[in-house]
Structure 1
Amino acid sequence: MIEIRDLEVRIGDQVIAAVPALDVAAGTCAAIVGESGSGKTTTLMAVLGLLDHAEVSGSIRACGVDVTKDGADGLRGSKIALVMQSPQGAFTPTMRLGAVLRRTLAKHGIKGAAAAERTAGALRDVMLDASVLRRYPHEVSGGQAQRFALAVALALGAEVILADEPTSALDVTVQAEVVNVLRRLHDERGLTVLLVSHDLALVSAIADHVTVMKQGRVVESGPATAVFTAPASPYTRELIAAIPALPEEADHAQS
Structure 2
Amino acid sequence: MIPVRNTQNDGQRGAAALVEVRDLKVTISGRQVASLPDLNLGPGECVALVGESGSGKTTSLLALLGLLRASDCAVSGSVRVCDVDVLAASPNQLRSLRGARIALVMQSPQGSLNPTMRLGVLLRHALTLHGIKGRPALSRIKLALDSVRLQESILRRYPHEISGGQAQRFGIALALALGADIIAADEPTSALDVTVQAEIMALLQQLRQQQGMALLLVSHDLALVSTVADRVIVMRDGQVVESGPAQQVLQNPAEPYTRELLAAVPTLEGAK
The alpha-carbon deviation at position 250 of structure 1 amounts to: 7.8
Pair 1:157 & 2:172 matched: no
- Amino acid paired to 1:67: V
Pair 1:215 & 2:215 matched: no
Q: Which residue of 2 aligns with 1:64?
A: 83
Which residue of the other structure, out of 14, 21, 26, is the alignment partner of 1:4? 21
TM-score by length of 2: 0.89
Q: Which residue of 2 aligns with 1:14?
A: 31
For the residues of structure 2 that align with 1:250 and 1:104, how far apart are their CA atoms? 45
How many pairs align?
Answer: 250
Pair 1:138 & 2:160 matched: yes
For the residues of structure 1 that align with 2:187 and 2:181, how far apart are their CA atoms? 19
Alignment of 1:64-143 (within 5 A): 64-71=83-90, 72-143=94-165
Cα shift readout 1:185-234 (whole Å, capped 9, x = no counterpart): 11121111101000111111111110000010000010111111101111
Cα shift readout 1:77-121 (whole Å, capped 9, x = no counterpart): 111111111121121112111111011111111111111110111
Asked if the contact 2:185–2:218 (Cα under 8 Å) also holds between the matched residues in 1, the reply is yes
The alpha-carbon deviation at position 12 of structure 1 amounts to: 2.0
- Amino acid paired to 1:127: R
- Amino acid paired to 2:87: T
Pair 1:228 & 2:228 matched: no
Pair 1:201 & 2:220 matched: no
Alignment of 1:20-35 (within 5 A): 20-35=37-52
- Amino acid paired to 1:225: Q
- Amino acid paired to 1:75: L
The 10-residue stretch of structure 1 (238-247 or 38-47) with the greater mean CA deviation from structure 2: 238-247
The alpha-carbon deviation at position 70 of structure 1 amounts to: 2.1
Give the SS at the match of 2:210: helix
For the residues of structure 2 that align with 1:141 and 1:201, how far apart are their CA atoms? 24
Give the SS at the match of 2:48: strand
Q: Output the aligned Cα RMSD.
A: 1.3
For the residues of structure 2 that align with 1:94 and 1:2, how far apart are their CA atoms? 34
Runs of 4+ aligned structure 1 residues displaced above 4 Å come to none
Q: Which residue of 2 aligns with 1:37?
A: 54
Cα shift readout 1:228-252 (whole Å, capped 9, x = no counterpart): 11011111111111111124x988x
Residue identity over aligned pairs, in percent, reads 60
Structure 2: runs of 5 or more not aligned: 1-17
Cα shift readout 1:114-144 (whole Å, capped 9, x = no counterpart): 1111011111111111111111101111011
TM-score by length of 1: 0.95
